[in-house]
Structure 1
Amino acid sequence: MYIGHYAAAAVLVTLVPASPVTPIAIGVAWPDLVWPVLVLMGRERVTVGRSDPLQRSIRFDSYPFSHSLVLGNLFTLVPAAIVALLYDSILLGLLFWVAAISHWILDLVVHMHDLPILGFGGNDRKLGFGLWQYPKTAFATEYIFFAIVVLLTAQPTAYVGVLGGGLFLHFLNANSFFGFSRHNPFSTPTRLALITFVGYIGAIAWFTLAWQ
């Protein structure tokens, strides 16, 4: 899931309208900001199906630090504490942490039974409802979910920027759902990690600017 994570950001900034947008925009993306760094460091592993561009062909072999429900979100308390100190707001630190937790919950809908619960132990259970198995349905469902939440939470003056920008970013990821190319253009872990990181930096900037 990509743009769908910003539905959670929309809810959180609406619930606490006085809070700055940027930390929450970073929070919902946090696991996918940490993940590329850990992949590049060799601490987490992913296998990319080179002959298949679809998202379902990517196998997340190991990502306990960035994408486990327990260990990953315990580590996220560190940046949450930093946010609380920087903004002098325990509430904002808590919102950052909740935003990061929402990432795992939403990923659960689309991932292919690979999200670890604990993040440690040899018999850790993994979950995932596997919506990516139905790529066209997953593509439509993610944006519809995002759009409905935005229409319920955003000010009408922000509709064009949030919905339009979100649609643009969503279509940038369309090859992963429709397979326009014969091969995966991000055919190595390094390439996938880098494009993921860049994609989320762009999403953070878009949401922060568009929500104002």
Structure 2
Amino acid sequence: MFVGHYSAAFALKASQPRVPLWAMFLAVQAVDIGWALLVMAGIEKARVVPGFTAAFPVDLYYMPYTHSLLATAAWAAALGLAWHALRRGDGRAAALAVAAAVASHWFLDLLVHAPDLPLYGNQHKLGLGLWNYPVPELALELVLLLGSTALYARTLPRHARRAWTLAAVLSVVQAAHTLGPWLMDDARAVAAMALAGYLAFAAAAAWAERGSAA
């Protein structure tokens, strides 16, 4: 899953306005940011395999430190505790929201991945495989994204226009990602591009909130 992850960011931000939207954008992609760094470092493993799934031709065959359920739970706990320590004034609910944002990644990935999501270590892998059905997969991502954007815009109307602009850009990127040609043949290049995208979208989320208090 790609932009569908941001549905959790918009929804949780609506419930906890003290947490910046850019932080929620980073939280929902935290394990993928870790994955990108570990793949580039050669610690976790992936390979481009044309046709591996119809929408995402990358075999994610070794990612125990970021995408196992146990590891995701550890990331969520660590980042939630870090948020509480650094921004105690936001309250426990805000820290729990950050932790929930991190944890949401695994469960949303479960819908689209091939069976490559371990429960722990590199064992007992799960995945419902919606990446093999590009049009339904794209529809799911967009429904999640646009529904959560509507909730965010209704809760924080002063940010609605920029939020919808951001959602429109994300929708176009998702459509190109799902339906467009695949141009990369190196997993480290895929990881580097993904990392750049996550950081750019977090910056765009900061722009979407700029100009008035949340």
Fold match by TM threshold 0.5: yes
CA deviations 1:152-207 (Å, max 9, x no partner) are 3323443432233222133224343223x3xx322201110001101111121222
Opposite residue 192 of structure 2, the aligned amino acid is: L
Please name the residue that 2:193 is paired with: 195
In 2, Cα distance between equivalents of 1:132 and 1:51: 11
The alpha carbon displacement at 1:115 in A equals 0.9
Select 1:185's aligned residue among 183, 186, 203.
Answer: 183
1:25 aligns with 2:25: yes
Number of residue pairs the alignment of both structures matches = 206
How far, CA to CA, are the matches of 2:51 and 2:104 in structure 1?
A: 32
Supply the distance in 1 between the matched residues of 2:199 and 2:72 (Cα, whole angstroms).
Answer: 20
TM-score w.r.t. structure 2 length?
0.85
Q: Give the superposed CA RMSD.
A: 2.3
Letter in 2 for 1:111: H
Quote the residue 2:125 is aligned against. 126
Compared with structure 1, are the counterparts of its residues 54 and 174 closer, same or farther at alpha carbon in structure 2 (3 Å cutoff)? farther
Contact 2:138–2:174 under 8 Å retained in 1: no
Letter in 2 for 1:16: Q
Following superposition, the deviation at residue 5 of structure 1 comes to 1.1
Q: SS at 1:154's partner residue?
A: helix
Equivalent positions of 1:1-212 (< 5 A) are 1-49=1-49, 54-88=54-88, 89-119=91-121, 124-155=123-154, 156-179=157-180, 181=181, 184-211=182-209
Shift in CA distance, 51/127, structure 1 to aligned 2, threshold 3 Å: closer
List gaps (5 residues or longer) in structure 2.
none
The one-letter amino acid of 2:55's match is Q
Query: 2: distance between equivalents of 1:130 and 1:49?
Result: 16
Contact 1:64–1:72 (CA<8 Å) still a contact in 2? no
CA distance in 1, matches of 2:35, 2:17: 29
Distance (whole Å) between structure 2 residues aligned to residue 191 and residue 52 of structure 1: 17
Query: Could you say what secondary structure the match of 2:29 adopts?
Result: helix
Structure 1 runs of 4+ aligned residues shifted over 6 Å read none
Pick closer, same or farther for the CA change 1:80–1:18 going to 2, 3 Å. closer
In 2, distance between residues paired with 1:107 and 1:52? Answer: 16
Per-residue deviation, residues 106-149 of structure 1 (Å, max 9, x unmatched)? 111111111111235xxx21111111111122112211221112
Residue type of the alignment partner of 1:167? A
> Does structure 2 retain, via aligned residues, the 8 Å contact 1:54–1:175?
no
**Partner amino acid for 1:97?**
A
Gaps of 5+ in 1: none
Residues 23 and 83 in structure 1, CA contact (< 8 A), matched pair in contact too = no
Closer, same or farther in 2 for the Cα pair 1:110/1:77, shift >3 Å?
A: same
